[in-house]
Amino acid sequence: MATTKPAFKAASLTIPQLLQRSAWYPLLDETARERVLDEIREVDVAAGAALCRRGDTPLHWYGTLEGLLKWSITSSDGRSVTFGGLSVGSWFGEGTLLRGAPRSADVIALRPSRVAQLPLETFEWLHRTQRGFDHFLLQQLNERLHWFMGNYAAHRLLDADGQVARALAGLFHPWLYPGSELHLQTSQEEIANLSGVSRQRCNAALNRLKEAGFLRIEYGGITVIDLEGLRRFIEE
């Protein structure tokens, strides 16, 4: 008897849906909400293409509508460091805009992606005039700093299993990536990229995490079935 492959629909949002689900947008006054809706735009990013490059002048704040991107730096000799994934529902790029300096990393699409772009001028106006938006930025930067500190420690203290588990758990961060679903429509190669380990080591680690009961490896992606267990695993 033939096995039916499960069908999963990739997470996908319109700009109004992304805004309504974001922690900062409902905090704005009516004038600010209207200006954001009027000035925000959508851009498509092909798999393997760059949304922005290291050294670029920052012109936008970004929100992920569909797909998956990675935040990384690649050296002149081809070595790469990945800071993390940018999944549906995430907003990113605020640190560079606030610093007013060229971008310090690349943002690359791991699969075809759609991204909302809010112009720098609108971002700065919200920063100046909307107190709720300022509170959001403070929380956002604090959560991101805490996550990066954890990543720094993880690459020195965790084995491959722990690094892969942390990369997966990171895609469900309740503040930074609020739109994630338990089924990740992602390839094992993409997870290896996010984990900073080779594809072979990543595949072996995923199988061990599967045997431990944290996830299922399925056609079209991975489903996390014990998120809290996965989080405890990387904290032990």
Mean pLDDT of the chain: 86
What's the pLDDT tens digit per position in 8-22?
345 789 999 999 999
Of residues 198 and 196, which shows the higher confidence score?
198
Residue 51 has pLDDT above 80, yes or no: yes
The pLDDT of residue 3 is 35
Q: State whether residue 171 is helix, strand or coil.
A: coil
Q: What is the residue-wise DSSP string for 50-97?
A: EEE-TTPPP-EEEEEEES-EEEEEE-TTS-EEEEEEE-TT-EE-HHHH
What's the pLDDT tens digit per position in 68-120?
888 888 777 777 777 777 888 999 999 999 999 999 899 999 889 999 999 99
Mean predicted confidence (pLDDT) in 195-209: 90
The pLDDT of residue 45 is 97
Of residues 196 and 102, which shows the higher confidence score?
102
pTM of the full structure: 0.78
Mean predicted confidence (pLDDT) in 41-70: 94
Q: Which amino acid is at 235?
A: E
What's the pLDDT tens digit per position in 133-183?
999 999 999 988 877 777 666 666 678 888 898 888 877 777 777 756 677
208/115 Cα distance (integer angstroms):
34
Written in H, E and C, the secondary structure of 210-229 is HHCCCEEEECCEEEECCHHH
C-beta separation of 97 from 57 below 8 A:
no
Q: Which amino acid is at 188?
A: Q
